[in-house]
Homo-oligomer: A and B are copies of this chain.
Amino acid sequence: MKAVILAAGLGTRLGSLTEEVPKGLLRIAGREILYRTMKALEELGIEEFIVVTNPKYKSKFEEFLNREGFKHKIILNKSPERGNGYSLYLAKDYVSDKFVLVMSDHLYEKAFFERALKCEGLVIDKIGMFINKKEATKVLYENERIRDIGKHLERWDGFDTGFFILTPEIFSYAEEIIKEKAKAELSEIVKRAKLKVSEVSGYFWVDIDTPSELKRARREIIKNSIKGVGDGLISRTINRKISTRISGVLIDYVTPNQMTVITFFLGIVSALVALFNIPLAGALYQVSSILDGVDGEIARASMRMSKFGGWMDSILDRYVDFAFLLALAFSINPSLRLWVIIALAIFGSFMVSYSTERYKAAYSKDIYKEIPAMKYLIGKRDERIFLAMIFCLINRIPELFVLLAMITNLRIVLTVWLAWKHDKNI
């Protein structure tokens, strides 16, 4: 299937932001709106993109499309004032089958496309959770076909998402209207065609028109970046609330790898500080734990995930934990017996990560997804570090080691038991 992308409009309400750059090429959270749409559609099987643009923006789109390597064709609309229906009409000779039509300046989450690609006609959203409802285009339908469409309807059933699955039939309606009055809006064409209406409600999508919508979209993208990551209790309730704000600020200035290195150094610094100021060290260690989420958030939000990045981050995390706990041990000059407990705590902390990663290596599956009960075991990194901070602040280091040694090694025993039970049942 091909996708036609309408990008000939001259954005105005975003002011200085779109003076030089078309709206579709605005970067939100490190990536162009259009990159997000095209990458998601490409991954879902769309093979070629027909981009209709105007002379002013042509070179900008050309540069973008070539740089990112999307298979594409650029079509020039020399009279953008003739409306977006006219832009669609210009794509006529480049599609022969069912095709996707999507606006270049709408932002969607990938899950929206997954569902919308299975639809027919105009895709509407009955909830419109994230959009400016006053400004949105509304749709009224009857017997699953459009009856009316516009911004100022009295009655309506849902919002126009700017996403369509069309057949070449649509071009004859476009031609009709263009012959009548030279210009054509998309909404007129689909209304005259009595296009079928499908519903995909509740997903994140927005038509970005104002700077405040831009800001909100950025926030949503970063919020989406922590979905399904398998966080521990402290991450969910504390760390992510702070780290996502930090990511929102840093995303345009720092790469994920830079962030990994910064976090690593902060972790090592917290270990060094443990040699002379334990409460401060505990606080710094917790700060590094919060920052540890930022590299992944930036990577996912700006679609720059890398396997090497994830691997490296895990290895550095192990070194930080080791350095911190060892420095802490060193600073209290433990007895021989306490050393055994310290060793068990360090080793057990390590084994928590080892057992889950080794599971993934063996089964090619995430243990948290495979065995839901795993979620209720405590002892993940965010929880261990939070505990460490508490005990550092009240200066109870031996007790911390006893607790860590127990929690982590017990967790391993339970992990083995759960995995064994799970394995027997499949």
> Using a CB–CB distance below 8 Å, which chain A residues touch chain B?
306-308, 310-312, 314-315, 318, 322, 326, 329-330, 333, 336, 339-340, 343, 346-347, 350-351, 353-355, 357-364, 412, 416, 419-420, 423
Asked if residues B353 and A354 are in contact (CB atoms below 8 Å), the reply is yes
Shortest Cβ distance from residue A319 to the other chain B in the assembled complex, whole angstroms:
8
Partner of A326, one of B318, B326, B343: B343
8 A-B pairs with least C-beta separation: A360-B361, A308-B423, A311-B362, A307-B362, A357-B361, A357-B358, A361-B361, A322-B347
Q: A360-B361, A361-B361, A362-B310 are in contact. Are A330 and B326 (CB under 8 A)?
A: no
Residues of B within 8 A of A308 (CB): 362, 419-420, 423
Q: A336-B333, A340-B330 are in contact. Are A354 and B357 (CB under 8 A)?
A: yes
Asked if residues A315 and B364 are in contact (CB atoms below 8 Å), the reply is no
Question: A314 vs B336: C-alpha distance in the bound complex, in angstroms?
Answer: 28
Asked if residues B315 and A412 are in contact (CB atoms below 8 Å), the reply is yes
Asked if residues A307 and B340 are in contact (CB atoms below 8 Å), the reply is no
Asked if residues A354 and B318 are in contact (CB atoms below 8 Å), the reply is yes
Residues of B within 8 A of A419 (CB): 308, 311
Residues of B within 8 A of A420 (CB): 308, 312
Shortest Cβ distance from residue A350 to the other chain B in the assembled complex, whole angstroms:
6
Stoichiometry, as copies per complex, reads 2
Residues of B within 8 A of A360 (CB): 360-361
Interface of A is mostly: helix
Residues of B within 8 A of A351 (CB): 315, 318
Question: A229 vs B338: C-alpha distance in the bound complex, in angstroms?
Answer: 39
21 A/B residue pairs, CB under 8 Å, sorted by A:
A307-B362, A308-B419, A308-B423, A310-B362, A311-B359, A311-B363, A315-B351, A315-B355, A318-B347, A318-B354, A322-B347, A326-B343, A329-B339, A346-B347, A347-B350, A350-B350, A350-B354, A354-B354, A354-B357, A357-B357, A361-B361
Given contacts A315-B355, A329-B339, A330-B336, 15 further A-B contacts (CB under 8 A): A307-B362, A307-B363, A312-B416, A312-B420, A315-B412, A315-B416, A322-B347, A333-B336, A343-B343, A343-B346, A346-B347, A347-B350, A353-B354, A354-B354, A364-B364
Shortest Cβ distance from residue A381 to the other chain B in the assembled complex, whole angstroms:
14
Question: A307 vs B359: C-alpha distance in the bound complex, in angstroms?
Answer: 9
Residues of B within 8 A of A358 (CB): 311, 314-315, 357, 361
Residues of B within 8 A of A315 (CB): 351, 354-355, 358, 412, 416
Residues of B within 8 A of A353 (CB): 354
Shortest Cβ distance from residue A389 to the other chain B in the assembled complex, whole angstroms:
21
Residues of B within 8 A of A346 (CB): 343, 346-347
Question: A416 vs B339: C-alpha distance in the bound complex, in angstroms?
Answer: 30
Shortest Cβ distance from residue A426 to the other chain B in the assembled complex, whole angstroms:
10
Which residue in chain B gives the minimum CB-CB distance to A310?
A: B362
Residues of B within 8 A of A355 (CB): 315
Which residue in chain B gives the minimum CB-CB distance to A308?
A: B423
Residues of B within 8 A of A322 (CB): 343, 347
Which residue in chain B gives the minimum CB-CB distance to A327?
A: B340
Shortest Cβ distance from residue A335 to the other chain B in the assembled complex, whole angstroms:
11
Shortest Cβ distance from residue A336 to the other chain B in the assembled complex, whole angstroms:
6
Question: A172 vs B135: C-alpha distance in the bound complex, in angstroms?
Answer: 80
Which residue in chain B gives the minimum CB-CB distance to A347?
A: B322
Residues of B within 8 A of A350 (CB): 347, 350, 354
